[in-house]
Amino acid sequence: MNQISHIQMDNKLDIKAYLDADEQKDLLRLLTAGSVDDGKSTLIGRLLFDSKKLYDDQLTALERDSKRVGNAGDHIDYALLLDGLKAEREEGITIDVAYRYFSTNRRKFIIADTPGHEQYTRNMITGGSTANLAIILIDARKGVITQTRRHTFLVSLLGIKHIVLAVNKMDLVDFDQQVFNNIVADYKMLTDHLGIEDVTCFPLSARDGDNVVEKSEKTPWYEGTPLLEFLETVPIHADRNYSDFRYPVQYVLRPDLNFRGFCGKVASGVVRKGDEVIALPSLKRSHVKSIVTYEGELQEAFPPQSVTITLEDEIDISRGEMIVHPDNLPFIGRHFTTMLVWMDEEPMDTGKQFFLKHNTNTTRATIAAIRHRIDVNTLEEKEGKPFQLNEIGQVDILTAKTLFFDAYAKNRQTGAFILIDPITNNTSAVGMILEPLDESALENDLVPTLDLKKLGIDPEHYDAIDIAVKELARQGLEVKVVK
């Protein structure tokens, strides 16, 4: 009797200990990219399966589906587990980004599973934008091919810091060390060219599990860890920008007359209670009075925390504006050059005024110049013509409102934006800002000026005009008011 209750208690302690440990795990977001036949879905299925997160009834459904449409012969087709949508099951390919979740004793993982073939570049870009790490799959029999180049270029464009080269199907080349080494050497040439520093290579057979979770006996020459162990331990914490405080104001909270809080997510950098801050674009200064959360006040806030900041002085800050430290300003301007990926079926129209969304700020914007396009297969520059779907290149953008931004390479949070078609509302393009451009030559026709005195408007109407101007700003139009 005593013994039984003791065991039960132990059990309870165990699960509690498990949950307490689980609570401390961090999160790794990873992107997988590979060609249709590289065995990408099989590798993910293997990671999920071997980390014991596959529930039995999902497996039962899988066996049922495998018999109907499977491609893997007698093996369980892990790919079917991942390909959720009816349409793509019929086509036998993954057509969109699918997110998968698994955890080990050390970490939680979110996998963005994206397709590898050409017409779906936009999905890989979508899946990779938040990734800490990318797994690029290669078929050991084929080596570095055009698609590998394309995927690696996209990964570097997205600023993903860590790359895993998974040389899969090693079983089909007899786990030959020379084959592996040649592929790694080829690949390093490519990543050196693109300036990617952190590349780790693995010889795998996803189908049989070699070097996925456990070290394979078939590759005695391979001295590294299995893939999963690497994923569990690769340090990602330092990848965030903790040095440049950027706080795009998302929502202004005014529950009563005594409280005016600026809600937002810390995009980068660290802010402490008492810090001197400056609001953009007004350039008004104040000090951080408190950093408020549901649980109470914090002494400091860092990315990617969502908090609410109150200031010592009553200064007017709206959504889309930014709070920063006065000694560390972002670029402030309306003209910049950027890498752009065209995501829309409808080709680029340089005559169009788009909506540009950058952090919490929305503005009208035009593509002022097309510098060049990039051939993603050869990585060579091509003539600057309007982009078609999935084309990538460098353009200059002119906005109606002032933006507060950094180069994407320095700050992934404040260097990114999307372009929205004003008619279809589709997300037409996404951009990674390179650098600001000179504005002295700009015609100011995008920003109309209202000189209230000149127009003979009485000061009693100024408040009403301010409100109207704010509403226009919310819709992406800036009007300069002279009082």
Partner 1 sequence: MNNYHLSHLQELEAESIHIIREVAAEFENPVMLYSIGKDSSVMVRLAEKAFAPGKVPFPLMHIDSKWKFKEMIQFRDEYAKKYGWNLIVESNMEAFKAGVGPFTHGSKVHTDLMKTKALLDALNKHKFDAAFGGARRDEEKSRAKERIFSFRDQFQQWDPKNQRPELWDIYNARIHKGESIRVFPLSNWTELDIWQYIRLEQIPIVPLYYAKERPCVEIDGNLIMADDDRLPEKYRPLIKPRMVRFRTLGCWPLTGAVESTATTIEEIVEEMMTTTKSERTTRVIDFDQEASMEQKKREGYF
Window 261 to 290, contacts with partner 1 (CB under 8 A)? 261, 263-265, 270
Nearest to partner 1 of 108, 215 (CB atom): 108
The answer to whether the CB of 38 falls within 8 A of the CB of 56 is: no
By CB under 8 A, tell whether 402 contacts partner 1: no
Cβ–Cβ < 8 Å for 65, 168: no
Q: Which of residues 126-165 bind partner 1 (CB under 8 A)?
A: 126, 129-130
By CB under 8 A, is residue 453 in contact with partner 1?
no
Q: Which is nearer to partner 1, 271 or 277 (CB)?
A: 271
Contact residue for partner 1 among 44, 98, 291, 395 (CB under 8 A): 98
- 69 vs 481, which CB is nearer to partner 1? 69
Q: Check residue 319 for interaction with partner 1 (CB under 8 A).
A: yes
By CB under 8 A, what part of segment 295-314 binds partner 1? 302-306, 308
CB of 172: closest distance to partner 1 in angstroms? Answer: 29
Task: Give every CB contact of residue 123 below 8 A, 6+ residues apart in sequence.
Answer: 95, 96, 97, 114, 115
205: phi then psi, degrees, rounded to nearest 5: -130, 100
Contact yes or no for 212/206 (Cβ under 8 A): yes
According to CB under 8 A, which one of 5, 55, 217, 327 is a site residue for partner 1? 55
The reply on whether position 377 binds partner 1 by CB under 8 A is no
**Measured from the CB atom, is 184 or 252 closer to partner 1?**
252
User: Scanning residues 180 to 239, which ones bind partner 1 (CB under 8 A)?
Assistant: 237-238
- Please state whether the peptide bond connecting residue 203 to the residue before it is cis, i.e. omega within 30 degrees of 0: no
DSSP H or E stretch at residue 381: strand 380-382
Nearer to partner 1, 140 or 348 (CB): 348
Q: Could you tell me the smallest distance in angstroms from the CB atom of residue 378 to partner 1?
A: 25
Note whether 87 binds partner 1 by CB under 8 A: yes
Q: Which of 479, 471, 476, 428 is nearest to 450 (CA)?
A: 479
- Only segment of 222-230, 373-381, 389-397, 425-433 that touches partner 1 (CB under 8 A): 425-433
- Residue 482 C-beta: closest distance to partner 1, Å: 29
- 58 contributes a contact to partner 1 by CB under 8 A: yes
Task: Select from 72, 93, 95, 409 the one that contacts partner 1 (CB under 8 A).
Answer: 95
Helices 146-157/121-128 angle, 10° precision: 40
DSSP per residue, 420-469? E-TTT--EEEEEEEEEE---TT--GGGS-EEETTTTT--GGGHHHHHHHH
State which of residues 151, 358, 364, 373 lies at the interface with partner 1 (CB under 8 A): 358
Is residue 10 near partner 1 by the rule CB under 8 A?
no
Site size toward partner 1 (CB under 8 A) is 79
DSSP single-letter state for residue 388: P
- C-alpha angle 271-405-354 in degrees, rounded to nearest 5: 135
Cβ-based burial of 308 (10 A; exposed 0-12, middle 13-18, buried ≥19):
buried
- Which lies closer to partner 1 via its Cβ, residue 18 or residue 462? 18
Stretch that binds partner 1, among 38-46, 95-103, 149-157, 329-337 (CB under 8 A): 95-103
What mask of x and - would describe binding to partner 1 in positions 12 to 41, judged by CB under 8 A? x--xx-xx--xxxxxx--------------
Please state the length of the chain: 483
Looking at beta carbons only, is 60 or 377 nearer to partner 1? 60
Decide if residue 472 touches partner 1 (CB under 8 A): no
Residue type, 351: G
Of the candidate residues 425, 438, 456, 460, the single one contacting partner 1 (CB under 8 A): 425
Binding mask 404-423 for partner 1 (x = CB under 8 A): --------xx--xxx-x---
9 versus 172: smaller Cβ distance to partner 1: 9
Spell 3-37 as b/e; 16+ CB within 10 A means b: eeeeeeeeeeeeeeeeeeeeeeeeebbbbbbbbee
Taking alpha carbons only, the member of 189, 182, 119 closest to residue 149 is 189
Distance between CA atoms of 286 and 320, rounded to whole angstroms?
A: 18
